[in-house]
A and B are shown apart, each in its own frame.
Chain A
Amino acid sequence: MTIEVTARYFAAFRERAGRDSERVSTEARTAADLYGELARRHVFADSVTRCKVAINDELEDWNAALSPGDEVLFFPPVAGG
């Protein structure tokens, strides 16, 4: 089953993708699956183990299930301090 979600990109991901966000039709079931799909499309080189994901403005596990209409925020490796 294909669902529609919104992907939002930050920092290096935003620059690499050349956009802040996009609507995505996907068969991905989890945040990790969706990242894999978008990483191939936009050539994101970071492994999920070093990145973070939020769904509808809550930090989530990469195994979190996606629902239609979700806003999925992809965070590259953080570097505060």
Chain B
Amino acid sequence: MSFKITSAVIDPAARKRELERSTAGACVTFEGWVRNHNDGEAVQALEYEAHLGLAEKEGARIVAEALERFAVTSVICEHRVGKLRIGECAVWVGVSADHRGAAFDACRYVIDETKARVPIWKKEHYASGATGWVNCATKSAG
């Protein structure tokens, strides 16, 4: 499957090799990393949760859309779930194509649509000991 939710560490080099085609003249990859701050708060770790079945289904739709809309050869996206440390790769997108323009566009499309549509949630663990769900107005009771 070209869209995968995984609890294992993402291996960008291995994923990139899966994009190799003798017809491809361009490869664009994107890595989303866990950073140590968000909205002015010090972040110590991130926890990702997904609805596995629907996330992979919606993700597969996004990859299919990218293959249809852009002149690209191969598209792969992998997203982590579970607790991640600062600096870890949370999401990886890779695209190969004959030419760079389509590869850049498709890569951008896949990461933007993934962030907007795929049922994945991100909980930030702050240095203060508090936690918070990103993008979410609903807070935990108590």
Contacts and interface: CB of A to CB of B under 8 A. Distances in A.
Do A and B bind? yes
Nearest to B55: A80
A10 B135 contact: no
Chain B interface residue number, banded: 20 to 34
Nearest to A75: B119
Contacts, number: 86
Interface in B68-116: 79, 90-91, 111, 114-116
B134 interface: yes
Given A75-B119, A78-B119, A80-B79, A12 B114 contact: no
A79 B134 contact: yes
A12 B138 contact: yes
A13 B135 CA distance: 13
Nearest to A15: B140
A76 B136 contact: yes
Contacts of B138: 12-13, 16, 43-46, 76
Interface residues of A, number: 24
A48 interface: no
Given A12-B140, A57-B54, A59-B58, A79 B135 contact: yes
A81 B90 contact: yes
Interface string B20-34: 000000000000100
Contact of A81 (B91, B119, B133, B136): B91
A76 B136 CA distance: 7
Given A54-B54, A73-B51, A79-B133, A45 B118 contact: no
Interface of A: 10-13, 15-16, 18, 43-46, 50, 52, 54, 57, 59, 73, 75-81
